[in-house]
Amino acid sequence: MLSVILIYTTYPLHVLTQHNLTPYGKATQSSNYEGSLPINAIKPPISNTFSRTLCSHTGISSKPAWWMFHFSFGSAYITDIQIYYREGYASRMDGFKLYVTNTLTIPPDGYLCYEDGPGLPSTTQTIPCNQLGQYVIYYDDRGDYQFGPIIELCYVAINGCPKATWGKDCSQTCPSKCIDKHCHPENGSCFMECK
């Protein structure tokens, strides 16, 4: 009798949902320092190396500073946000907050994804969020001990999928059984309850 031995090898399946949504919207900030624009933070290179033409930079002020991204297609389910801040200037990030919200209100009144502290943060971070919203706001009302709140973002990637989509490159439509067709970008499961 001939025996056949089957060997099964299991590989974890990872659905790539890390779709950078920053090409689909507009960046603004509280002020511009010497022509350093908010759009600089969403364009390559992916780096912490600072220059006024490569990074966003708000003006020097005692008022809170903010950088905001608004999705052009409405709401998105954000899985995480990658931040590359100006190298060597972690003290200016000290105490920053990261929000996902549905309003333009400053100070932000939406979902607080992250609040820094205590100690100096890393200038390169990937912050999990898992939240639905129309805006991402980097907010700082504390800032540098010498100059006050200043934001110097060299690169920001906002990963996730537009609302009602999921899967690799957000190419799948969320099931109609999900309320408002809102599902998780990784597996298409309903984010809230099912109908």
Mean pLDDT, range 141-150, rounded to an integer:
87
- Pick from 161, 158, 159: nearest CA to 174: 161
> pTM for the whole thing?
0.87
Q: Does 4 score more than 60 pLDDT? A: no
CB 154 within 8 A of CB 54: yes
The label of the residue with tokens 């500073």 reads 65
> What tokens were used for 17?
């949902």
Q: Does 17 score more than 80 pLDDT? A: no
Mean pLDDT, range 132-145, rounded to an integer:
92
Cα 67–Cα 131–Cα 16 angle in degrees, nearest 5? 100
User: How is the beta sheet containing 97-101 ordered, strand by strand?
Assistant: 25-29, 65-71, 135-140, 97-101, 111-115
- Pick from 101, 96, 104: nearest CA to 127: 96
Rg (CA), the chain: 20
Span 31-77, pLDDT tens digits: 999 989 999 999 999 999 999 999 999 999 889 999 999 999 999 99
Q: Does 5 score more than 50 pLDDT? A: no
Distance CA 98, CA 66 (A): 10
For residue 158, what are the β-bridge partners? Answer: 81
How far is C-alpha 63 from the geometric centre of its chain's CA atoms? 23
* Residue 9 pLDDT: 34
Where does the pLDDT of residue 18 fall: very low under 50, low under 70, confident under 90, or very high at 90 and above?
Answer: low
Domains of the chain: 19-163 (2.60.120.260), 164-195 (no CATH)
* Residue 114 pLDDT: 97
Q: Does 13 score more than 50 pLDDT? A: no
The residues, ordered by sequence, that sit 6+ positions from 118 with a Cβ below 8 Å of its Cβ are none
Q: Does 2 score more than 80 pLDDT? A: no
